Structure 1
Amino acid sequence: MLDKFQKHIHTTFPFLLERKFYIAVSGGLDSMVLVHLFQQMKCSFGMLHCNFQLRATESDEDMKFVLAYAAQHQIPCEVQQFNTKIYAEKNKLSIQLAARELRYQWFEAQRQANHYDYILTAHHLDDTLETFLINFSRGTGLEGLTGIPQQNETIVRPLLPFSREAIWHYAQDNQLQWREDSSNASDNYLRNKIRHHLVPILKELNTSFLDSFQNTIHHLKEAQEILQDGVALRYQEIVLKQEDGTLRFDLKKLLELDHYTSYLYQWLHSYGFTAWQDIFDLVHAQSGKQVHSDAFILLKNRASLLLFSKESQHDKRHYFIEKGIEYVKEPINLTLCNVSYPSYTLAKCIFVDQDKIKYPLVIRKWEEGDVFYPKGMKGKKKLSKYFKDEKFSLYEKSTQWLLCSENQIVWVIGKRQDERFIITENTKQILQIIQQ
Structure 2
Amino acid sequence: MLEQKFLNYIKTQKLFYADNKILLTVSGGVDSMVMLHLFRRTNFEVGIAHCNFNLRGDESDRDANFVRLIARENAIPYFEESFDTGKFASDRKCSIQEAARELRYSWFEEIKIGGNYQYYATGHNFDDQLETFFINLFRGTGVRGLRGILPKNGNCIRPLLFATRDEIVEYAKNHNIVFREDSSNKSDKYLRNRIRHQLLPALQSVKSDFKTGFEKTFTHLLETEKVIEGDIRKLREKLFSNNEDQIRIPIDKLTKLQFIEFYLHELLKPFNFNEDVTGKIPAALNKIPGKTFFSKTHQLIIDRDFLIISPVDINKPDKYFVDAGAIKIGIPVELNFERLSVTGKIIIDPDKNVAQFDFDKLKFPLKLRRWEEGDSFHPFGM
TM-score (norm 1): 0.69
Q: Which residue of 2 aligns with 1:255?
A: 255
1:303 aligns with 2:266: no
Q: Which residue of 2 aligns with 1:230?
A: 231
1:180 aligns with 2:181: yes
Question: RMSD of aligned C-alpha atoms?
Answer: 1.9
Q: Which amino acid aligns with 1:214?
A: E
CA distance in 2, matches of 1:254, 1:312: 29
Q: Which residue of 2 aligns with 1:11?
A: 12
Q: CA deviation at 1:284?
A: 2.1
Q: CA deviation at 1:32?
A: 0.3
Q: Which amino acid aligns with 1:15?
A: F
Q: Which residue of 2 aligns with 1:361?
A: none
Q: Name the SS for the 1:78 alignment partner.
A: strand
CA distance in 2, matches of 1:53, 1:231: 42
Instruction: Please give the residue correspondences for 1:169-208 in structure 2 after superposition, counting only pairs within 5 Å.
Output: 169-208=170-209
Instruction: Please give the residue correspondences for 1:362-381 in structure 2 after superposition, counting only pairs within 5 Å.
Output: none
Q: Name the SS for the 1:30 alignment partner.
A: helix
CA distance in 2, matches of 1:233, 1:53: 46
Instruction: Please give the residue correspondences for 1:97-176 in structure 2 after superposition, counting only pairs within 5 Å.
Output: 97-176=98-177
Q: Which amino acid aligns with 1:238?
A: L
Q: CA deviation at 1:235?
A: 2.1
Q: Which residue of 1 aligns with 2:290?
A: 288
Q: CA deviation at 1:236?
A: 2.2
Q: CA deviation at 1:306?
A: 0.9
Q: Check the 8 A contact 1:282/1:290 in 2, yes or no.
A: no
CA 1:221–1:56 in 2, change beyond 3 Å: closer, same or farther?
Answer: same
Q: CA deviation at 1:14?
A: 5.7
Q: CA deviation at 1:223?
A: 1.4
Q: Which amino acid aligns with 2:184?
A: S
Q: Which residue of 2 aligns with 1:412?
A: none
CA 1:176–1:63 in 2, change beyond 3 Å: closer, same or farther?
Answer: same
Q: Deviations over 1:247-267 (max 9, x none)?
A: 111111111121122111101
Q: Deviations over 1:63-100 (max 9, x none)?
A: 11101111111111111111222222222222111111
CA distance in 1, matches of 2:262, 2:95: 30
Q: Deviations over 1:242-299 (max 9, x none)?
A: 3x13211111111112112211110113322232332222322322211111210111
Q: Which amino acid aligns with 1:236?
A: E
Q: Which amino acid aligns with 2:245?
A: G
Q: Looking at both structures, which has the greater relative contact order when contacts are Cα pairs under 8 Å and sequence separation is at least 6? A: 2
Q: Which residue of 2 aligns with 1:50?
A: 51
Q: Deviations over 1:287-340 (max 9, x none)?
A: 2211111210111111110111022998xxxxxxxxxxxxxxxxxxxxxxxxxx
Q: Which residue of 2 aligns with 1:273?
A: 273
Q: CA deviation at 1:137?
A: 0.3
| Greater mean deviation of Cα atoms: 85-94 or 294-303 | 85-94
Q: Check the 8 A contact 1:146/1:221 in 2, yes or no.
A: yes
Q: Name the SS for the 2:45 alignment partner.
A: coil
Q: Name the SS for the 1:176 alignment partner.
A: coil
Q: Which amino acid aligns with 1:60?
A: D
TM-score (norm 2): 0.79
CA distance in 2, matches of 1:171, 1:266: 42
Q: CA deviation at 1:226?
A: 1.6
Q: Name the SS for the 1:68 alignment partner.
A: helix
CA distance in 2, matches of 1:142, 1:62: 36
Q: Which residue of 1 aligns with 2:354?
A: none
CA distance in 1, matches of 2:196, 2:16: 33
Q: Deviations over 1:173-223 (max 9, x none)?
A: 111110000000001111001111011111111111111101011111111
Q: Check the 8 A contact 2:124/2:158 in 1, yes or no.
A: yes
Q: Which residue of 1 aligns with 2:325?
A: none
CA distance in 1, matches of 2:297, 2:78: 36
Name the count of aligned residue pairs.
315
| Greater mean deviation of Cα atoms: 185-194 or 226-235 | 226-235
CA 1:190–1:312 in 2, change beyond 3 Å: closer, same or farther?
Answer: closer
Unaligned runs of 5+ in 2: 317-332, 335-382
CA distance in 1, matches of 2:130, 2:176: 27
% identity of equivalent residues: 38
Q: Name the SS for the 2:227 alignment partner.
A: helix
Q: Which amino acid aligns with 1:295?
A: T
Q: Which amino acid aligns with 2:65?
A: K
Q: Check the 8 A contact 1:131/1:147 in 2, yes or no.
A: yes
Q: Which residue of 2 aligns with 1:394?
A: none
Q: Check the 8 A contact 2:52/2:81 in 1, yes or no.
A: yes
Q: Check the 8 A contact 2:21/2:44 in 1, yes or no.
A: no
Unaligned runs of 5+ in 1: 315-366, 369-436
Q: Check the 8 A contact 1:22/1:45 in 2, yes or no.
A: yes
CA distance in 1, matches of 2:315, 2:15: 44
| Greater mean deviation of Cα atoms: 207-216 or 87-96 | 87-96
Q: Which residue of 2 aligns with 1:341?
A: none
